[in-house]
Structure 1
Amino acid sequence: MESKKEFISVPMNERNGKPKDLFFIWFAANIGILGVVYGAMIVGFQLSFLQSALAALVAALSFVLVGYISIIGKNNGITTFKLSRAAFGMKGNWIPNFLGWLNLVGWLSVNVVTGTLILNSLSNVLHMSQNHIITVICLLVFATLVLFSGLLNQDQLAKLQTFFTYVFGGLTLLILVILIPETDWHQLMTMPNGSWLTGFLPAVSIIMAGTGISWSIAGADYSAYQSPNSKNASVMNSVVLGAVIPLFVIMFVGILLSTSVPDIAVSANPIDVIGQALPSWITVIYFITAVGGLVPQCIISLKSARVNLETLNIRVSDRTSLTIHGAIMILIPIYVLFISQDFLYNFQLFLGLLGIGIASWAAVFIADYYFNRKDGYDIALLSNNGAHIVNRNGVISWFLGITIGFLFTNTDFFSGPFAKGIFKDNSLGLLLAFISSYVCFVIVQLFFNKEGHGDGTKSSAK
């Protein structure tokens, strides 16, 4: 590992980004055709058409959390988990930081699995024989494509994401327009209302886990490169609109398509099922579009994973970082593709479990900022050499939220003692984790921390 001086803030000569850059970064990250699967999953909670559409919109608006954290990153010119050191302390931040890294490489692996399945389907359309060798080749091709993106700097990333937005965003829209006529409108409009408590809320929470909550850990990683003169409102609007517009539209089409292609939400290869619903003349374009829509998500995950690794004081060269993440990108998909062979199940399990920890982290992070850091972060709280070792307020609030979240969650690995009734077999534990961590931090802040500065004092990060 390389020994390098730690730079807390992004150098001013690199802070020349504009809010529109954030719009294209988050738009491109949400044009993936997998959003159709999200829409079908929502309907699977036995909701009516209007309930499903509302659930999709509310879940997509979870990107307000990413927008808020992006403002914090812009105001301070510091990436997400370096800022998080103030809320948790230098050592207290290690576990949330590692969990964030795990979330990013997990998402990266999930998207590589999806990309491999898409290329596999494309090879089938091109009349190539289907076997393990072809699957391995597809995996290596997609993983190599993603790894090359790890060599991009911030300006190159913004330009590439803009390209993806226009090209693959347009192609995705074309595919969606072709899919819409497949809708069984009578069935759609006659679906009965489901339970708002046991259907609507769990549907919203599972999609939030995979969208706004999951991406919150990367919010400041990109806004830290924004010009200090960028307006907060512009940053918020660019992030939220850039993410919500494509995500909601694609999920909405997934809701419509669930009536004519009900297997989307239960298939081991949902992308292939969607392809079968299209006319044969456009299937090749569809699969290319699907691959193109996944690459931007992988780029963001790979870049932020590298940032998180450095924040954990694991400072390695670009080549070593790409080697580490490349190995993970190959090994996890190999397990999913050749051993587990149940993509969607592992996908939902992954979202639910990691989402609890990330939700609790996000609650503590924004609560700490609101109460203690609005005037800026004290660099001493963010430095490796600082005395700010553990922020008990943040760590206790985070741990309490996670504990409550798991107590109300059941999976194949364990069953929380309170995961019964309305909490059984859903992801409401994630929302409880977020609320519990936030409320706990507020109580500690108001009643046990009279000075209101956490474990450190406020001062400008400039």
Structure 2
Amino acid sequence: MTALDEGRPDSAGATPGFAIELNGLNTIHESERKGRPRDLFWPWFAANVSVFGLSYGSFLLGFGISFWQATIVGVVGIVISFLLCGFIALAGKRGSAPTMVLSRAVFGVNGNRLPSILSWLLTVGWETVLTALAVLATATVFTQLGWAGGVATKVVALIVVAALIIAGGVIGFNLIMRMQMVITIVTGVLTVVYIVLVLGDMHLDKVAAIPAGDAPHVIGGFVFILTGFGLGWVNAAADYSRYLPRNARSSGVVGWTTFGSSLAPVILLIFGILLAGSSKELSTAIGQDPIGALASILPIWFLVPFVIVAVLGLVGGAVLDIYSSGLALLSAGVRVPRFVAAGIDGVLMTLGAIYVVFVATDFIGPFQGFLITLGVPIAAWCGAFIADISLRRRDYAEKELYDSRGRYGSVRWLPISLVVIGTVLGWGLVTNTYANWLGWQGYLLGPLGLGGKEGDWAFANLGVLVALLVGYLGIVIFGRRTIRHQEELPTATDPGTSGVAAAPDAARASAVDGA
């Protein structure tokens, strides 16, 4: 009997080592569910321990706010944004399927292709940014060491970094978990050493002298942190908790996801604010080459360890992105095996990194435009999904996540409409002054009396918060009855078996192949 006949991949789907994971969009079979909630600490900490987190200190001060304002909105924004990831990770434990499969319960089996495409764009964009940063950091450090840091170095660095990321994405879950544990230990130790070495570059008197900003600028900084941290991960948050046993503690899933994700960014952000606030020149340089600028204040002997910690930290985040982007591509309707989808995204990631490294002249402008523009529809999706999770009292009917004739339906127009409405309202309330091609945004700031695109509220980027609330409140107010009706229907899944295993042959094939 083949694996497909059983309705799931064979044991190679979850074997340790370097065997390619064959699990795709299918629910994880009971025999493959393992681990404890605290195991989630490793991938999430490793994905967010990058010294790139220090750069957010400069980005926040760029909103014209003080040290204390930046610290408060930064810490609160990080924790809240990753708490959203924790709630979505809970859905992974309940349904044992990827995030963008579980989202079908909200949007319908076919209607969910819209948020799947958005998720794919966001994760491919993030992995591209992280890859490019790793290459730029390597070239800058090599230059400071007096070695060749030109085109040849960038090409070699790109090949090495891309190979590590693509290998992790293609081989899959077990290799990623092993990589993230190693990355966590190495980067954690070296990051502490970095912080100790740059303590002398912090000048508290200069930091304390930074004037406070008004409400629009504070809110703008808060929204930027939301989109730069947790909202950049919500669409992948269940992809790693799906392997946990059903009896894993829900509070542990939420808690370890939030704690593992938030711990390093909170520490790095505070030190980043202190560094950027101590030197205007450093803060300006971070906008051009964030990690390279951070290397410029180090002693020569630590530059090689620094480039190791910088590259590994960025790879840790990009590996999770490429794994989840492959799953999102499958959920959008591309019919290829999971590892092929990850390979496709790896090629796109490499091409995008080539553009950022060799063509683009600015980093912070395109980066901020990318975060805010995609952050709006993702926030609307996140609000709708979290509202749905909070209203459900039973586990998902796994089999019907793959059947458009089942309880979740083909297309659910309410949540899709909420994403569209949230996006239209959201884009009208955000601005991207660094990216000319996004100049059309902010079209509601004038009509709503918020000062137009040049007023103070233009920097607040209220559209992300509005989109999040539209998605959440829309489901809470208007979707409650539908969810209750879904849960009252009898399930066709036999107790103790995977939903995919009980599905018809066509559904089983689509689950494994990624359709």
State the TM-score, normalized to the length of structure 1.
0.92
Partner of residue 148, structure 2: 129
Deviations 1:256-292 (A, max 9, x none): 1012333335531121111111122211211111111
Partner of residue 33, structure 1: 51
Mapped contact 1:89–1:381 kept (Cα < 8 A): no
**Alpha-carbon distance in 1 for matches of 2:96, 2:236:** 14
Partner of residue 358, structure 1: 378
4+ runs of 1 displaced by more than 4 Å? 3-7, 454-462
Is residue 210 of structure 2 the alignment partner of residue 230 of structure 1? no
Is residue 322 of structure 2 the alignment partner of residue 296 of structure 1? no
Q: 1:349 aligns with which of 348, 352, 369?
A: 369
Is residue 86 of structure 2 the alignment partner of residue 60 of structure 1? no
Is residue 484 of structure 2 the alignment partner of residue 453 of structure 1? yes
Deviations 1:223-281 (A, max 9, x none): 01112221111111111111111010001110010123333355311211111111222
SS in 2 for 1:259: helix
Q: 2:229 aligns with which of 199, 211, 215?
A: 211
* C-alpha deviation, 1:452, in angstroms: 5.0
SS in 1 for 2:395: coil
Mapped contact 1:18–1:226 kept (Cα < 8 A): yes
Mapped contact 1:363–1:438 kept (Cα < 8 A): yes
Mapped contact 1:380–1:386 kept (Cα < 8 A): no
Partner of residue 131, structure 2: 112
* C-alpha deviation, 1:150, in angstroms: 2.2
Q: 2:196 aligns with which of 136, 159, 177?
A: 177
* C-alpha deviation, 1:168, in angstroms: 1.1
* C-alpha deviation, 1:113, in angstroms: 0.5
State the AA in 2 paired with 1:40.
S
Is residue 166 of structure 2 the alignment partner of residue 147 of structure 1? yes
| Matching of residues 81-92 of structure 1 within 5 Å | 81-92=100-111
State the TM-score, normalized to the length of structure 2.
0.83
SS in 2 for 1:272: helix
State the AA in 1 paired with 2:479.
Q
**Alpha-carbon distance in 2 for matches of 1:209, 1:246:** 17
| Matching of residues 68-107 of structure 1 within 5 Å | 68-107=87-126
Q: How many residues align?
A: 455
- The gaps in structure 2 that reach 5 residues or longer are 9-24, 446-451, 496-515
Is residue 304 of structure 2 the alignment partner of residue 278 of structure 1? no
* C-alpha deviation, 1:352, in angstroms: 0.6
**Given the superposition, is the C-alpha separation of residues 92 and 161 from structure 1 closer, same or farther in structure 2, using an over 3 Å criterion?**
same
**Alpha-carbon distance in 2 for matches of 1:264, 1:187:** 13
| Matching of residues 4-23 of structure 1 within 5 Å | 8-23=26-41
Partner of residue 421, structure 2: 400
| Matching of residues 390-429 of structure 1 within 5 Å | 390-411=411-432, 412=436, 413=438, 414-419=440-445, 420=452, 421-429=455-463
**Alpha-carbon distance in 2 for matches of 1:123, 1:242:** 32
* C-alpha deviation, 1:24, in angstroms: 1.0
State the AA in 1 paired with 2:318.
C
State the AA in 1 paired with 2:184.
T
* C-alpha deviation, 1:311, in angstroms: 1.9
Superposition RMSD in Å: 2.2
Partner of residue 48, structure 1: 66
**Given the superposition, is the C-alpha separation of residues 459 and 311 from structure 1 closer, same or farther in structure 2, using an over 3 Å criterion?**
farther
SS in 1 for 2:246: coil
State the AA in 2 paired with 1:432.
V
Mapped contact 1:121–1:287 kept (Cα < 8 A): no
| Matching of residues 257-268 of structure 1 within 5 Å | 257-262=275-280, 263-264=282-283, 267-268=287-288
Mapped contact 2:93–2:246 kept (Cα < 8 A): yes
Moved more, 220-229 or 183-192: 183-192
SS in 1 for 2:287: coil
State the AA in 2 paired with 1:417.
Y
Partner of residue 405, structure 2: 386
SS in 2 for 1:377: coil
Identity among equivalent pairs (%): 29
State the AA in 2 paired with 1:418.
L
State the AA in 2 paired with 1:340.
A
**Alpha-carbon distance in 2 for matches of 1:319, 1:241:** 30
Partner of residue 432, structure 1: 466
**Given the superposition, is the C-alpha separation of residues 163 and 106 from structure 1 closer, same or farther in structure 2, using an over 3 Å criterion?**
same
SS in 2 for 1:408: coil
Mapped contact 2:140–2:149 kept (Cα < 8 A): no
**Alpha-carbon distance in 2 for matches of 1:267, 1:33:** 14
* C-alpha deviation, 1:318, in angstroms: 5.6
**Given the superposition, is the C-alpha separation of residues 396 and 82 from structure 1 closer, same or farther in structure 2, using an over 3 Å criterion?**
same
Mapped contact 1:360–1:433 kept (Cα < 8 A): yes
Partner of residue 315, structure 1: 335
* C-alpha deviation, 1:381, in angstroms: 4.3
Deviations 1:327-374 (A, max 9, x none): 212211122222222122111111111111110100011112223x32
Partner of residue 503, structure 2: none
